[in-house]
Amino acid sequence: MHLIFVLANLVREWMELHRLSREVMRDQSSLFQKTLTALQHPNEDLREKAGLDLITWTEEGVTRREGIEALQWAAQSFPPRRDSSWHGFDTLLVEAAGSNPDPAYVNIIRECFSVYSVEARWEALALLATIHDRGSAYAYMDLMRTAMRDHGFTVLPVAPLLDTPRFPDIFFPGLFTYLREPTHSQSVWSVALRYCQEGKLDANGLCAVTGQLLQDYLELRVDLDKAEPKEGQQWMWEDGYASTRFKAALLLDLMGYVRSEAVVAELMRAEESPDPRLRLFALISLVRHGMEPGLQTWIPVAQSAETCNLLYERLGHLNRLDLFPVEFGTQDAFAESDMVNWLMYPTELGRAPDDIELMHVEPFEQDEDGPGGAYEIYLFRFRTSEPKWAAEKGWMAGIAGPFESGSQPGIESLGATFSCFESWDNKTPEEHLELILGLFDSRS
């Protein structure tokens, strides 16, 4: 009898929890409905508040039911936003659904796509690209054709395909159609390269566009050949050349997966480039073609802080670290390369510095939750020339690492590489370390 009593109490408690859960879900659904309704309220302030509420829903994630409602509501007409540069309410609704990608959305997007705004259509395609479902992939390609035929896009919504390459039989060769648009070719080539790297696309899959690949590269080479290499590296970051070199490097990388004598000839020409980034990808692609570039040709690539770590990584993937010049396989060099590549982010310095010097190596102890072991932080100072905005600061401080110490040098850091772009002379080395590391402590 005692056991029956206990079980009866457990059942009652479960039923009560289930009832409370249903009530919470009903309350949440009611709040979401109120937010949707408020998007069409006559009062502008209330509409804008509902828009902010919708962004909060997106950050927290919606349920499948709420995502379906959001996609359906996005097909309605809404008053214009207070600021025309803000996303429209219909786009915010699609973004909300995108916080919880679900195959249940596919048919709704198909039904509503024709009445979505151009901006909402782009967001809907990006949402479809995040759903790991063949039906979603087919819908993506079908609706992309519709959208590109009707109005086109400035940027193709292909980023999710870079994150998780899948269904090559659905996305290719269809995506190659958009190579005809110069503004979209880099995006398409980027997706193709990612698929090749993951073994989802091979030389056979690229056969139909080999000629286009070579043509696109030769057009870039015309601009590259106009550059006048000078001492140092500032010439590689001059207007025009910097963006061209990154596009050309992408194509040289992709050429490693293409079987063509004309392509190999261009790779052999590029392996002598004074630009270490172009030389890097040409050499790696030649190795993919089964060729053995001489050891001396790798030295300028390993010597460059911009390309040192990338070269080590790529050769590692090919199991050919024997080709990496041993004199540059030091932890100091890897740390410097890590620092330079962080500085190259568009949100940071936006380019490699003109000068960089290692000033101090500091032992670093991990927290209890860390991976354990001995680590080191590398403190650098760097500077850049005019007309870069940071030139007036002279030498600035930055750190790279932490890197594991007392073992084989490696390129993997624990992610504390950073700079406040503080002038070097403003603080002691210890104060620079304290300032930057203190920022990470405050974020944890």
- Cα 231 to Cα 66: distance, rounded to the nearest angstrom: 59
Residue for token digits 């349920």? 63
Per-residue pLDDT of the chain (444 residues; tens, 9 = 90+): 455 545 545 545 444 344 334 334 444 567 888 999 999 999 999 999 999 999 999 999 999 999 999 999 999 999 999 998 899 999 999 999 999 999 999 999 999 999 999 999 999 999 999 999 999 999 999 999 999 998 889 999 999 999 999 999 999 999 999 998 989 999 999 999 999 999 999 999 999 999 999 999 999 999 999 887 877 778 888 878 989 999 999 999 999 999 999 999 999 999 999 999 999 999 999 999 999 999 899 999 999 999 999 999 999 999 999 999 999 999 999 999 999 999 999 999 999 999 999 999 999 876 655 556 789 999 999 999 887 788 889 999 999 999 998 778 999 999 899 999 999 999 999 999 999 988 876 554
Let me know the angle formed at the C-alpha of 95 by 94 and 98, rounded to the nearest 5 degrees: 90
Q: What is residue 17's predicted lDDT score, i.e. its pLDDT?
A: 43
Which one-letter DSSP state was computed for residue 291? Answer: -
Burial class (CB in 10 A: 0-12, 13-18, 19+), 308: buried
SS3 359: strand
Are 292 and 262 in contact, with CB atoms under 8 Å apart? no
Phi-psi region of 286 (alpha: psi -120 to 50; beta: other; left: phi over 0): alpha
Q: What is residue 366's predicted lDDT score, i.e. its pLDDT?
A: 66
**pTM metric for this prediction:** 0.87
Are 257 and 202 in contact, with CB atoms under 8 Å apart? yes
Cβ contacts of 426 within 8 Å, gap of 6 or more: none
SS3 70: helix
Report phi then psi at 14, rounded to 5.
-65, -45
The residue among 159, 156, 168, 160 whose CA lies nearest residue 198 is 168
Q: Compute the CA torsion angle 268, 271, 277, 282 (nearest 10 deg).
A: 30
Q: What is residue 28's predicted lDDT score, i.e. its pLDDT?
A: 55
Q: What is the 3-state secondary structure (H, E, C) of 189-221?
A: HHHHHHHHHCCCCCHHHHHHHHHHHHHHHHHHH
Are 418 and 442 in contact, with CB atoms under 8 Å apart? no
- Cα 128 to Cα 106: distance, rounded to the nearest angstrom: 7
Q: How many CB atoms lie within 10 A of CB 334?
A: 24
Distance of CA 205 to the CA centre of its chain: 24
Report phi then psi at 399, rounded to 5.
-120, 150
Q: What is residue 443's predicted lDDT score, i.e. its pLDDT?
A: 52
Are 24 and 30 in contact, with CB atoms under 8 Å apart? no
Residue for token digits 């962080």? 342
Q: How many CB atoms lie within 10 A of CB 226?
A: 10
The residue among 122, 120, 124, 112 whose CA lies nearest residue 75 is 112
- Cα 307 to Cα 312: distance, rounded to the nearest angstrom: 9
The residue among 420, 371, 384, 376 whose CA lies nearest residue 402 is 376
Q: What is residue 152's predicted lDDT score, i.e. its pLDDT?
A: 87
Cβ contacts of 87 within 8 Å, gap of 6 or more: 81, 95, 119
Query: How many Å is the maximal CA-CA distance in the chain?
Result: 93
- Cα 194 to Cα 164: distance, rounded to the nearest angstrom: 9
